[in-house]
Amino acid sequence: MLPVARQVAAATVAALLLIAGVWASWGAAQHVMFPTGRERGTMTVSRCADATCAGPFSPASPTAVRHPSVTIDRSIGEKKGARFPVVLKPSSTSAVRAGTAGFLHAWVPLGGALLLASVVLAGGIRDRRLTWITGGAGIALLTAAFAALSF
């Protein structure tokens, strides 16, 4: 009975980690995945602080409003003068990176959750194949996001 309880507890903790990873990622991912009805354009980084970067926003649509300054969470890819596509969050001047790099960057919390879940699964369920698949998916997602933001 104890081995079954251990496996159920480990599966529950792993599921909660994955749900938390999706929840943390969804805040930015929804804007990147479903940009219909949102302002899209290009941001040029003019200054960066510890956690955010700011710069002017040039809309993709000629009828959209130009914003003198929008903010974006800082990641490894932003340098002063860099230009990249963004999507503005509704009713704000906060932006999220668009395109493949933005999609991967938005799902980074899920990649971390996959790595944590693989450790929990390794200790609780002790299924090597499931552990390697979960950990490998997390490493692949984090590596792809790093590579996409670096280039």
| Domain with 87 in it | 37-97
pLDDT at 41 over 70: yes
Task: Specify the pLDDT at position 35.
Answer: 87
User: Is residue 105 situated within a structural domain?
Assistant: yes
Q: Please state the φ and ψ torsions of residue 66, each to the nearest 5 degrees.
A: -80, 140
Tokens 């509704």 map to which residue?
90
User: Is residue 62 situated within a structural domain?
Assistant: yes
- Please indicate, yes or no, whether residues 79 and 92 belong to a single structural domain of this protein: yes
Tokens 């602080």 map to which residue?
49
Task: Specify the pLDDT at position 54.
Answer: 93
Q: Domain end: 76, 97, 118, which one?
A: 97
- Please indicate, yes or no, whether residues 51 and 86 belong to a single structural domain of this protein: yes
> Using CA atoms, how far apart are residues 73 and 5, in angstroms rounded to an integer?
41
Query: Could you report the per-residue pLDDT of 95-128, keeping only the tens digit for each?
Result: 999 999 999 999 999 999 999 999 999 999 989 9
User: Is residue 51 situated within a structural domain?
Assistant: yes
User: Is residue 2 situated within a structural domain?
Assistant: no
- Please indicate, yes or no, whether residues 85 and 119 belong to a single structural domain of this protein: no
Structural domains counted in the chain: 2
- Please indicate, yes or no, whether residues 85 and 41 belong to a single structural domain of this protein: yes
Read off the tokens for 80.
């002063």
The half-sphere exposure of 73 on its side-chain side, counting CA atoms within 13 A, is 12
Task: Specify the pLDDT at position 49.
Answer: 85
Task: Specify the pLDDT at position 79.
Answer: 80
Task: Specify the pLDDT at position 77.
Answer: 62
The CA–CA distances, whole Å, from 105 to 6, 10, 90, 97 equal: 34, 28, 19, 8
Chain mean pLDDT for the chain: 92
User: Is residue 135 situated within a structural domain?
Assistant: yes
User: Is residue 4 situated within a structural domain?
Assistant: no
- Please indicate, yes or no, whether residues 42 and 92 belong to a single structural domain of this protein: yes
User: Is residue 140 situated within a structural domain?
Assistant: yes
Task: Specify the pLDDT at position 78.
Answer: 73
Read off the tokens for 148.
């996409």
pLDDT at 76 over 80: no
User: Is residue 3 situated within a structural domain?
Assistant: no
The percentage of the chain sitting over the pLDDT mark of 90, rounded to a whole number, equals 74
